[in-house]
Amino acid sequence: MISAATTTRAEIPIQTTRAEIPVDELEVGAYTIPTDAPEADGTLEWDATTIVVVHARGACESGVGYTYADVSTAKLIATKLAGVVRGRDAMAPQAAWEAMVEQTRNLGRPGITSMAIAAVDLALWDLKARVLGLPLCRLLGMARESVPVYGSGGFTAYSPQRLAAQLSGWVQDGIPRVKMKIGSTPDGDAARVTAAREAIGPRTELFVDANGAYSRKQALELAERFRAQAQVSWFEEPVSSDDLGGLALVRDRAPAGMPIAAGEYGYDAVYFRRMLEAGAVDVLQADVTRCAGITELLRVGALCRAHGVPLSLHCGPSIHLHPATALENLVHLEYFHDHVRIEHMLFDGVVEPVDGALTPDLDRPGNGLEFKRGEAERCAAA
């Protein structure tokens, strides 16, 4: 057995990891960051975002993971999951994942339970990579060297001027695809989307996201208008993601060149399998901070591979970057305004997009992120 109290990274050659390396402790904190302006989408308004950060420690290393969730998620990690994971082998994150799922059976898998498991699972995978002295993408196996991104924000609470400035700013930064929110005022959405097209020019891909705000018939009518007037090339959640029949209907009747996407609210592999089997989407979406971490995300990637459906990752670009490189059917990753702000505020090692893509820093172990504890404490959640 390797002693975590006396061993340093330099003293752990890879071959000695045949022995178990226990997870010594989990530390969790929650931090709430106000938005830089009021924000809204088709079904929700908000003025702050809470991030729940987990550190998993063992063998004199510390792995970091996080999820964007309520403070109650942090409490669940502290009171339930920490005891499940402590003492388990840091070299076997899948085994810890199974134990967390088993021990939370009576709490309900979707929602905060899955997000809590995600934050811990992400920290455990990061810890394993750091103990081995590897970038996390190398540990997972890289199917690609970089990950295309799309700029995402365009909130319905924005003025036309702010919307145009944000979307065109991403274009100027070399990102060739951008996404805006719609659905708060359906009668005005076609004009707003057309104005966005004018702001970004003819060559940039324009995506729209209704967050399930429309009825089936509204979605079908607006899909035609968005495509004809603004060459929209991505329609996300035109109807509720719980309405698999409605998604399939819109997918079947949407204009050519306009894929239908959904899946960001998936918390387990079964959810994604049902969506794929229903023929509900042209592109499946998944969020590693919601779908119980890397362990489950890799299964979602396998489902997409088996069904021949592309996969796009939702929000949190820094925490998604390394696992994204391992996904064969990946098409792109969301470069979401709020989460980009928070990741820059709270972590060192955040990489910037170059030519519309993010590339992991292979000189940094694990996911490459280092927590700015002093910065975070100023926005600690009550």
Whole-model pTM: value is: 0.94
What is the 3 state secondary structure string of 269-295?
A: HHHHHHHHHCCCCCEEEECCCCCCCHH
Report the share of the chain in percent with pLDDT over 90.
95
147 with 287, same domain: the answer is yes
Question: pLDDT by residue (tens digit) across 11-38?
Answer: 444 444 467 899 999 999 999 999 999 9
Q: What does pLDDT average to over the chain?
A: 95
Residue 159 to residue 143: CA distance in whole angstroms? 40
Count of domains observed in the chain: 2
Would you say residue 266 lies in a domain? yes
Of the residues 82, 109, 134, the one at which a domain ends: 134
309 with 233, same domain: the answer is yes
123 with 143, same domain: the answer is no
192 with 341, same domain: the answer is yes
Would you say residue 373 lies in a domain? no
pLDDT for the residue numbered 11: 42
168 with 109, same domain: the answer is no
pLDDT for the residue numbered 271: 98
Which amino acid belongs to residue 260? I
Of the residues 113, 134, 155, the one at which a domain ends: 134
Residue 255 to residue 259: CA distance in whole angstroms? 9
125 with 43, same domain: the answer is yes
pLDDT over threshold 50, residue 5 = no
Averaged over 153-173, what is the pLDDT? 98
144 with 282, same domain: the answer is yes
Averaged over 362-369, what is the pLDDT? 98
pLDDT for the residue numbered 19: 77
Would you say residue 1 lies in a domain? no
Would you say residue 381 lies in a domain? no
Averaged over 355-377, what is the pLDDT? 97
pLDDT over threshold 80, residue 10 = no
Of the residues 134, 154, 172, the one at which a domain ends: 134
192 with 287, same domain: the answer is yes
172 with 119, same domain: the answer is no
| CATH number of the domain to which 59 belongs | 3.30.390.10
Residue 209 to residue 203: CA distance in whole angstroms? 20
Averaged over 181-208, what is the pLDDT? 98
pLDDT band at 158 (very low <50, low <70, confident <90, very high): very high
pLDDT for the residue numbered 228: 98
Averaged over 38-65, what is the pLDDT? 97
pLDDT over threshold 80, residue 41 = yes
Phi, psi angle pair for 150, to nearest 5°: -130, 140
191 with 71, same domain: the answer is no
Range of the domain at 16: 9-134
Averaged over 212-237, what is the pLDDT? 98
